[in-house]
Amino acid sequence: MKLMTRMARTFVAGETADEALKQVGRLRGKGILVTLDILGEAVQDRAQSDKAVQDYLDLLDTLAKVKSEAHISLKLTQMGLDIDDEYCFQNMVKIIGRAEKSKRFVRVDMEGSALTQHTLDLFYRLRKKFDNTGIVVQAYLHRSEKDIQDINKIKAKVRLCKGAYKEPKEVAFKKMKDIRANFIKLSEMLFKNGVYPAIATHDTKLLKWAKEYVAANKIGPDKFEFQFLYGIRNKTQQKLAQEGYRVRAYVPFGTHWLPYFMRRLRERKENVFFIVKNFFKR
């Protein structure tokens, strides 16, 4: 497990807020924006959810004190979605309300497809109360085109990613060419009718497409941003920032890192090679 923990540091910024904030400072020094995520999901115990809520409230207080403009991201199952809807909603109200005081943005992460509608239903309810919250849409899901249409109607901010959960072919595209095609279709919908889309991909072909699309359509760099996972394509992140694009790194931390780490390994075989190569360079 010690070896696994050391390898996970490729994708996880530490187990404590102090460790993560050191990485935030390093990234900000390179012109890269950040969103912080305290890892945790599939919580079935109220005491554990209560602790997660307090951890986020403490993090928000710390960010306000150090005058960091960092966003935060979280999963609804960490906040009690599998326990009780109203309990989860009230937990989210506490967090988003605290974030609102320091004019901070909160992104609701998306989980497996079995939770997509449940997550969206609660998000729509939160969106009626708060402007400082957005959602994630996964491009590999067949349903995502309709979801983008609905989210654009309420002018909510979307982080578009490919998706990293193992899904059946009935609900998700399986071939990369189909996932890329849908990612492009959904991106165009967001650029045309959305609000400040976050294009979250490490895919060279999709990054190239996005740069060409915004240039051809005269979309300024203040109208969208690129997003990357912490520890992946660091040089690309820096290069895009140097070229004048807004770039944000998703920086996860905490003790519940194993599910997140394993998804990164399953997502692409290149991630396994990347970790092994960099691990033995140290």
How many angstroms separate the Cα of 122 from the Cα of each of 46, 52, 56, 75, 142? 18, 18, 19, 12, 21
The answer to whether 35 and 23 are in contact (CB under 8 A) is: no
Write a three-state SS string for 200-243: ECCCHHHHHHHHHHHHHCCCCCCCCEEEEECCCCHHHHHHHHHC
How does DSSP classify residue 254? S
The residue from 109, 233, 248, 264 that is catalytic is 109
How many angstroms separate the Cα of 216 from the Cα of each of 148, 244, 269? 23, 16, 33
Distance CA 164, CA 147 (A): 18
Annotated catalytic residue 109: yes
Rounded to the nearest 10 degrees, what angle do helices 176-193 and 204-216 cross at?
30
The residue from 107, 159, 233, 248 that is catalytic is 159
CA neighbours within 13 Å on the CB side: how many for 198?
Answer: 26
Q: Other CB atoms closer than 10 Å to residue 256's CB: what's the count?
A: 19
Tell me the catalytic residues.
Answer: 109, 159
